[in-house]
Structure 1
């Protein structure tokens, strides 16, 4: 009798294990925190468990393409979205966020930078992004391309660091290594208690966030369930200050 009960329990446990999966959600670092909260809610209500992997949108896309693994990809920047499509790395996607870049100021920086044009002052230290690793790198380049050439050249000369993700930029600004750093959206700087300057609308370049199903997923039905769960929990991004698209 005891043996039969043990066998039954083993079969029950094994059956549960066979039908619960680990799902990998790769996300751009700038929109990581809402993803973590949604994943937590999912893990509390579903047998499948979500693991968050964060980095620059380009960085995590490279991981997806090279490893041919992953279930969900959230990113910022249409260029990375198009690259994912070229490699057939995603099967479906939806535009979910609108982001407006700003420049975060260090304590020292706020004393000498009063507006966007002050970024061109001699001796100003700026943190930018690596265009191959993160959308902010490309964003910075596009903003510079809209500026009068003299102003653009002066600002370009003040770039001291090109970072791999937005949290590196924020870190350098908080530590005072640089005077200013470009950030995707003011929603990302709430906890820093630092000031920021806006970019004139005629020069700024809005970015958009997307959620996508990874075509390499080993558990397509479970991944689709997570994808739909994310779409019904976009208010979490709004709670973090992001502009959610309808």
Structure 2
């Protein structure tokens, strides 16, 4: 009886050892993949960068990322969002390598919080009035946003560069309260404003020139003297673990090749004599 019991205990211990070994093998086998995934997300490895980018810059930045990776073999991952939201994320995590918001306003906020230092200037986000095809509400100037009965879509003032630009223009013309009565939605990104206009949910919105889809909406220019033209900056974060690669990416975006991609997607590139009086 004792021999049988001893034999059973030995078999039990062997089985337990094999089970533990199997679990250890599974965990160690999955750990490298998990580490790679984390690195690809955070930019912690030398072969990967994490770029915080304004949502309205997605089209040119996606292409730039592809070209940059092909050229230098450095993977680029993006976190897109409103500039204010991205600053909050960087402050919370202190993870990532490059910041490119929709305007210098958000970059200055990040700089004041010691998240970035110097920047290079890439192009212009030019606010325009977007209206439904044929302009059925006969909107011709920014002042018309105050007309009673209109449905106006705007960007969130705290989250988006376009929201801040609109707020400044409405204040300049003393129409803030009248405009607010017409606001049916404020979105956390400019991309969502574009969707609202594409689907006919608003009579007008404040977008940027690069966001206009001529098949679904019309654009009305705002005179430079009345406008709040935005300048797009880019810079390396203060907490990057990939200083050399991050600087290489910043330099590429600011190069003639990088700016040409922005120009193709509807962004006037910096500097432009038309906007010579615009202060970054």
- Report the TM-score when normalising by structure 2: 0.75
Q: Deviations over 1:153-201 (max 9, x none)?
A: 4323211111111011111111111111111x21221465410222344
Describe the shift of the 1:29–1:199 C-alpha distance in structure 2 as closer, same or farther (beyond 3 A). same
Distance in 2, matches of 1:93 and 1:229, equals 13
Return the match for 1:223 from 217, 241, 246: 246
CA distance in 1, matches of 2:214, 2:117: 35
How many aligned positions are there? Answer: 226
State the 1:92 CA deviation: 2.2
Aligned to 1:174: 198
2:186 paired with 1:162: yes
Corresponding residue of 1:213: 236
Q: Could you tell me whether the CA contact under 8 Å between 1:56 and 1:133 is conserved in 2?
A: yes
The answer as to 2:157 corresponding to 1:131 is yes
Moved over 4 A (4+): 17-20
Task: Please list every run of 5 or more consecutive structure 1 residues that lacks an aligned counterpart in the other structure.
Answer: 1-16
Contact 1:103 1:182 in 2 (8 A): yes
**3-state SS of the aligned residue for 2:118?**
strand
Helix, strand or coil at the partner of 1:137 = helix
1:241 aligns with 2:259: no
Cα deviation digits, residues 109-150 of structure 1 (max 9, x gap): 821134124333221100111111111111111001111x3x
Secondary structure, aligned partner of 2:101: strand
- Aligned pairs (5 A) from 1:54-133: 54-107=80-133, 110-116=135-141, 117-133=143-159
1:238 to 1:126, Cα distance in 2 relative to 1, 3 A: same
Q: Please, which moves more after superposition, 230-239 or 187-196?
A: 187-196
Decide which moves more: 208-217 or 221-230.
221-230
| CA RMSD, Structure 1 to Structure 2 (Å) | 2.1
Between Structure 1 and Structure 2, the one with more strand by share is: 1
Q: Cα deviation per residue 1:57-104 (whole Å; 9 max; x = unaligned)? A: 111121112110111111122321111111111132112212321111
Secondary structure of the residue that 1:234 maps to in structure 2? helix
Closer, same or farther: CA 165–192 of 1 in aligned 2, 3 Å = farther
Looking at structure 2, the residues matched to 79 and 119 of structure 1 have their Cα atoms a distance apart, in angstroms, of: 24
Structure 1 residue aligned with 2:219: 196
Give the alignment partner of residue 210 of structure 2, picking from 173, 187, 200: 187
Which whole-Å CA distance do the structure 1 matches of 2:180 and 2:239 have between them? 39
CA distance in structure 2 between the partners assigned to 1:191 and 1:28 by the alignment:
22
In 1, Cα distance between equivalents of 2:70 and 2:214: 26
Distance in 1 of aligned mates of 2:219 and 2:206: 10
Judge conservation of contact 2:198–2:216 (CA < 8 Å) in 1: no
Structure 2: runs of 5+ lacking an equivalent:
1-38, 272-280
